[in-house]
Chains A and B, each alone.
Chain A
Amino acid sequence: KAGVTQTPRYLIKTRGQQVTLSCSPISGHRSVSWYQQTPGQGLQFLFEYFSETQRNKGNFPGRFSGRQFSNSRSEMNVSTLELGDSALYLCASSWTGTATTGELFFGEGSRLTVL
């Protein structure tokens, strides 16, 4: 079956702009998590959505937000972009979220560059 799909794969924005990233989970998966990967910090947890509800949130400013739709597809939005937001944003899906075995299935990521 198809894996986790993230769009766009690459994008360039300038400071102050906003960006929306999209994630389509594996069919049947109801949980979607978002992570930010930067060279110095590894994978940092942003938030998790399950059945359209935010179930967990990491330590990121309010400029980072997300939502999940009834078909489990998810979007994350970053407003007022800063240079430090340049990163690979990874989406991961699972059947019930990390409440069970913890295995997540990751997409290939959206590479955001802020100039």
Chain B
Amino acid sequence: DQQVKQNSPSLSVQEGRISILNCDYTNSMFDYFLWYKKYPAEGPTFLISISSIKDKNEDGRFTVFLNKSAKHLSLHIVPSQPGDSAVYFCAARVTGANSKLTFGKGITLSVRP
């Protein structure tokens, strides 16, 4: 059962435009969400996160939006740069002493120069 879903496996965007990466979840107990970025031959690196008590978190060019009623979150990258080309993973967790991160399958973002 895939509790975190990234239904679009890939996205191609022109440099300078906005990239919107979507993520859906099914477990209503999730209360913290994270995005990780992964380049080939490297481990994932933390990008941005959001708590369920918020609906938006912004960090430079990256903004994450959370719609709890729809169980949907999205990552906006504005403006997109060629260096943003990577695989982006959405992850979620339930706060607790033994919680783990549940990841989606990832979205491959390609930013065209």
Contacts and interface: CB of A to CB of B under 8 A. Distances in A.
Interface of A: 4, 33, 35, 40-45, 48, 55-56, 58, 90, 92, 98-99, 101-109
A43 B103 contact: yes
Contacts of A108: 41-43
Nearest to A55: B98
B105 A99 contact: no
Q: How large is the interface on B (under 10, 10 to 19, 20 to 34, 35 or more residues)?
A: 20 to 34
Interface stretch (B12-20, B62-70, B71-79, B88-96): B88-96
A84 B49 CA distance: 32
B45 to A, nearest CB: 7
Interface string B78-113: 000000000001010101111111111110000000
A109 B38 CA distance: 12
A101 to B, nearest CB: 7
A58 B100 contact: yes
A90 B91 CA distance: 15
Contacts of A107: 43
Given A42-B103, A44-B103, A58-B100, 19 more contacts: A35-B103, A42-B6, A42-B106, A43-B89, A43-B91, A45-B100, A45-B101, A55-B97, A98-B101, A99-B95, A99-B96, A102-B49, A102-B91, A102-B93, A103-B34, A103-B49, A106-B36, A106-B44, A108-B42
B70 to A, nearest CB: 21
B46 A33 contact: no
Given A42-B105, A43-B89, A98 B100 contact: yes
